[in-house]
Structure 1
Amino acid sequence: MQWQTILLQQHKGVGLITLNRPHALNALNNQLIIEINQALDLLEKDPTIGCMVLTGSEKAFAAGADIKEMLDLSFPQIYLDDFFSLADRIAQRRKPLIAAVSGYALGGGCELALMCDFIYCADNAKFGLPEVSLGVLPGIGGTQRLTLAIGKAKAMEMCLTARQMDAQEAEQTGLVVRVFPAEQLLAQTLQAAEKIAEKSLTAVMMIKESINRAFEVSLAEGLRFERRIFHSVFADADQKEGMRAFVDKRPAQFTSAKGHHHET
């Protein structure tokens, strides 16, 4: 593929997508969203890939959506076209997707990070949803995912005032998992991704599916779902290998993470 707005690399079972519109601080335009999805499609289909990482530059993960592209759009056309709906596919991925955020993650950039399964950030990271300053509101899930991540009061205050949140506050509120010095961010994120990629792909995807279920259904339904998924994993050879390796006191050799689809 000839990428114009991203870079794609693969190493040790990890697919790394780097946003690459430096002149626009990686602002999200239609082509960037299309190319992220095309890259994710390739990584999801590749059985050797067990985890995916999304990152930007040191200065900006993504500093918003491309305002010039939206300035003259009108309703009902954007309603009929379901503008931004392409972005929803990023959040619907089945393999784990980690965001590595350095610098600005504002507006659509913050929403893009929130679509990932968890966020690691650099100590220079700045998160914000400043859409209210443009006379609009977040439109790629910001009001929903930020609220689920950090609670109503903080989400409401950030969206209403357009205030930016620094890395330390982002970690304290649970928006990000860990903060690293900027020069260590990518290495630390890839290390975590490689650890995930070594695991059973079946188990990893089931964990993601089960945790995401907790946001959709009641506790009783969620527990029932988890239990059935747990039962089903006993049909997978990786379960036999993982438990046998534990009993034998040796490292497990998971095959689904190495590109073999096995049948029992």
Structure 2
Amino acid sequence: MSANVLIEKIGHTLVITINRPAQRNAVNRAVSMAIADALDRLDSEDDLRVGILTGASGNFCSGMDLRAFVEGERPELEGRGFGGLTEAPPRKPLIAAVEGYALAGGCELALACDLIVAADDATFGLPEVCRGLVAGSGGLIRMARKVPPAIALEYALTGNRMAAPIAQQWGMINRLVPSGQALTEALALASEIAANAPLSVMMSKRIVEESGAWAPAEIWDCQRPLVDSVLASDDAQEGARAFTEKRDPVWSGR
């Protein structure tokens, strides 16, 4: 694992920290590869149930490393996208813990996560138009799905920054916390999620993500086999037994 990305397992949660504070955690190709490896670990290890993506030293991510870009390096990975994430999110839930700047590609990384916990002085934005670029790593698509399209378009066309309290008002942020507390709150949220049945959590995420593309007449036919696969699991039986026996369930992930 690259020294530019730190990995820590805390309970059932994998914390992935971009660690380039001198560059405000700007992403180069090495960072993208390291994040992609960490996300593969998140999905492959049964004991891991939730991931958290964050940045070191008070900033989430300032976007693409422009110096590396000028020198000819691209941070996008084939089939994985920017940061090894934007085109191929993990099957398991991923939370962005945002302090400081989440700008350009950094904003796109946050938007590619399932949930966002942000400090009240954090800043989001897609300033690519100010640099002759386009937010082509999902920012234009995902922001317009999380906030009203006209609001997303205004920020995309002006390159203006969105303060975290405003982002929460538009529904882009799940939890707003005092400065310095984003990771702590993200870990608490991850613990709430990890307490639930792993198959149920992953399937719930999948249905929310995929259902937007289902034709209205096909919604129930599309959802039924996905739900049935969970109802047929050992954990479905365990959840029912635990409820009737008035005890906490012991999930097997099967």
| TM-score normalised to structure 1 length | 0.89
Aligned alpha-carbon RMSD (Å): 2.0
1:232 matches 2:229: yes
What CA distance in whole angstroms lies between the structure 2 residues aligned with 1:221 and 1:58? Answer: 47
| 8 Å CA contact 1:64, 1:107 repeated in 2 | yes
Gaps of 5+ in 2: none
CA drift at 1:58: 4.9
State the match for 2:138 in structure 1.
141
| 8 Å CA contact 1:26, 1:63 repeated in 2 | yes
The one-letter amino acid paired with 1:129 is L
State the match for 1:63 in structure 2.
62
CA drift at 1:96: 0.7
| 8 Å CA contact 1:50, 1:198 repeated in 2 | no
CA drift at 1:143: 1.0
1:217 matches 2:214: yes
| 8 Å CA contact 2:14, 2:50 repeated in 1 | yes
The one-letter amino acid paired with 2:229 is S
Gaps of 5+ in 1: 257-261
The worse-fitting range, judged by mean Cα deviation, of 219-228 and 246-255 is 219-228
| 8 Å CA contact 1:120, 1:185 repeated in 2 | yes
Alpha-carbon displacement from aligned partner over 1:177-204 (angstroms, at most 9, x marks no partner): 1101123221111011122122211111
Alpha-carbon displacement from aligned partner over 1:51-102 (angstroms, at most 9, x marks no partner): 111011353100111111222559xxx8xx9877532652431011111111
CA drift at 1:144: 0.6
| TM-score normalised to structure 2 length | 0.92
Equivalent pairs, count: 251
Secondary structure of 1:9's aligned partner: strand
Q: How does 1:92-241 map to 2 (within 5 A)?
A: 92-241=89-238
Query: 1:151 and 1:249, CA in 2 relative to 1: closer, same or farther beyond 3 A?
Result: same
State the match for 2:31 in structure 1.
32
The one-letter amino acid paired with 1:217 is W
2:239 to 227, 235, 242: 242
What CA distance in whole angstroms lies between the structure 2 residues aligned with 1:249 and 1:144? Answer: 45
What CA distance in whole angstroms lies between the structure 1 residues aligned with 2:181 and 2:230? Answer: 36
Alpha-carbon displacement from aligned partner over 1:22-72 (angstroms, at most 9, x marks no partner): 110001111111100011112221111011110113531001111112225
CA drift at 1:124: 1.1
State the match for 2:18 in structure 1.
19
| 8 Å CA contact 1:101, 1:120 repeated in 2 | yes
What CA distance in whole angstroms lies between the structure 2 residues aligned with 1:4 and 1:211? Answer: 35
| 8 Å CA contact 2:107, 2:124 repeated in 1 | yes
| 8 Å CA contact 1:58, 1:103 repeated in 2 | no
The one-letter amino acid paired with 1:87 is G
What CA distance in whole angstroms lies between the structure 2 residues aligned with 1:82 and 1:126? Answer: 23
Alpha-carbon displacement from aligned partner over 1:232-253 (angstroms, at most 9, x marks no partner): 2122110001112122222212
CA drift at 1:139: 1.6
| 8 Å CA contact 1:84, 1:140 repeated in 2 | no
Say which structure, 1 or 2, has more relative contact order (CA 8 Å, 6+ apart).
1
2:80 to 86, 103, 109: 86
State the match for 2:46 in structure 1.
47
The worse-fitting range, judged by mean Cα deviation, of 144-153 and 220-229 is 220-229
Alpha-carbon displacement from aligned partner over 1:148-175 (angstroms, at most 9, x marks no partner): 1112111110011111001111101111
The one-letter amino acid paired with 1:86 is R
Secondary structure of 1:28's aligned partner: coil
What CA distance in whole angstroms lies between the structure 1 residues aligned with 2:78 and 2:137? Answer: 7
